[in-house]
Amino acid sequence: MSPPPSACATNRGNSMGLAKRIIPCLDVENGRVVKGVNFVDIRDAGDPVEIAMRYNEQGADEITFLDITASHEDRDTTVHTVEQIAEHVFIPLTVGGGIRSVADIRTMLNAGADKVSINTAAIREPELVRRAAQRFGSQCIVVAIDAKRVADVDGVPRWEIFTHGGRRPTGIDAVAWAVTMAELGAGEILLTSMDRDGTKNGFELGVTRAITDAVDIPVIASGGVGTLQHLVEGITLGGADAVLAASIFHFGEFTVPQAKAYMAEHGIEVRL
């Protein structure tokens, strides 16, 4: 296990090194942000472009756009939305949801995504990750892992990958899967705890720490953020390189600058 980050560790002079990232996530269905957004001064709370621009202005480090449109005939809407966001937002944009093939990845990158997130398709066809990394570079291939705690094995905690919104088990060990995905060429892991997603009880720190220790690529922690202290814990205890949250930002409970100020107070390097 790597030693915990220390508030006073500096690289040189006033340099603090690579910042931990805060990533607001937009869940989008048929071109509209769902789960609601409640900014006081926003005209159209469902418009992903306007919301992405707002987070860009607030100083978010990246934006993740998760397409949860059930029917895939409507992908043109998604592509159009991604194009519009990319035209107005000058921070990295990750697009996930329904990415099944190298052609899908190409479409999203051409639309202006900087990275694509692959979830179910990687489970069905792990070689897709290798082909995509070879074709487009590891830097734009994120593998999303939805993990759920299962029965301990010999007293050791174990997490498995679940699909279909956490309903369908796959029997795949989440930590081993993260290692396999990194070996195949994934550039980053987006780890969501299905036990915590939507609970506001904080990240599942056990699986976060297990995966961040097991792989050399960056890990984004997701699922369960309810307070700013949860963001801090994802990094200091979970070892994550970035933290993703939706509702605490959408509903105006906290702004991105408030989250960054809180993290900085707790010794975390952030881009202010």
Partner 1 sequence: MSGVVAVIDYGMGNLHSVASALRQVGADEVVVTHDADRLARADRVVFPGVGAIGDCMTEIRRLRCDRLLLDALHTRHKPVLAICVGLQALMSHSQESGGVPCLDILPGEVRHFGTALRDAAGRRLKVPHMGWNEVRQERAHPLWRGIPDMTRFYFVHSYYVDAIERELLAGSVRYGVDFDAALARGNLFAVQFHPEKSHTAGLQLLRNFLEWNGRC
Query: Which amino acids are annotated catalytic?
Result: 27, 146
Q: Among candidates 238, 239, 222, 254, which has minimal Cα distance to 142?
A: 222
Judged by CB under 8 A, the number of residues near partner 1 is 48
Minimum distance between the CB of residue 162 and partner 1, rounded to whole angstroms?
26
Q: Is 91 in the site for partner 1 (CB under 8 A)?
A: yes
Q: Which stretch binds partner 1 (CB under 8 A): 35-43, 65-73, 128-136, 229-237?
A: 128-136
Minimum distance between the CB of residue 105 and partner 1, rounded to whole angstroms?
11
Binding mask 217-256 for partner 1 (x = CB under 8 A): xxx---------------------xx--------------
Radius of gyration of the chain (CA): 18
Q: Is 87 in the site for partner 1 (CB under 8 A)?
A: yes
Q: Is 11 in the site for partner 1 (CB under 8 A)?
A: yes
Candidate residues 12, 151, 153, 167; the one interacting with partner 1 per rule CB under 8 A: 12
Q: Is 2 in the site for partner 1 (CB under 8 A)?
A: yes
User: Residue 58 or 247: which CB sits closer to partner 1?
Assistant: 58
Minimum distance between the CB of residue 113 and partner 1, rounded to whole angstroms?
8
Minimum distance between the CB of residue 151 and partner 1, rounded to whole angstroms?
31
Minimum distance between the CB of residue 70 and partner 1, rounded to whole angstroms?
27
Alpha-carbon distance values, 51 to 7, 88, 265 (Å) = 33, 11, 27
Q: Is 216 in the site for partner 1 (CB under 8 A)?
A: yes
Interface residues with partner 1 (CB under 8 A) are 2-3, 5-6, 9-12, 14-21, 56, 59, 61, 83, 86-88, 90-92, 109-114, 134-140, 187-188, 216-219, 241-242, 271
